[in-house]
Amino acid sequence: FSDLFLLPSKTESFGLAALEAMASGVPVISTNTGGLPEVNKHGFSGFLSKVNDIEDMTTNAIKILKNVSDLTMFKANAIKQAQQYDIHQIVPQYESIYQDTLKRYLLEHA
């Protein structure tokens, strides 16, 4: 059981670890590198800090942890944010992209 997930990455491609934490109802304090700003919404599912800004990460962590009602809100928001990446949400989007791409290809090469 965790109340908070800290992800001080210098580089990150997508942020799967952050997404897994949020899916478990754990708010995320992360850097703003790579795909993390897309996954971790600043002020909603957690907070973003510049790379190497440990002071800001600490301030943000305390912000979430010092108030039980804020922590409860961030936990609920983390789950909501993670649900956007649920397989039932993502697969239809990928299928639509593939179908549109195939249609364009067939029209161009007919």
How far is the C-alpha of 2 from the C-alpha of 13, rounded, in Å? 24
Q: Containing domain of residue 97, as a range? A: 5-108
What is the average pLDDT across 21-37? 98
In this prediction, residue 110 carries a pLDDT of 84
Q: How many CA atoms lie within 13 A of 64 on its CB side?
A: 29
What's the chain's average pLDDT?
96
What is the tens place of the pLDDT at every residue in 44-61?
999 999 999 999 999 999
What is the tens place of the pLDDT at every residue in 80-108?
999 999 999 899 999 999 999 999 999 99
Q: Domains in the chain: how many in total? A: 1
CATH assignment of the domain containing 63? 3.40.50.2000
Q: Which two tokens stand for residue 79?
A: 């789950």
pLDDT exceeds cutoff 90 at 1: no
**Running DSSP on this structure, what letter comes out for residue 42?**
B
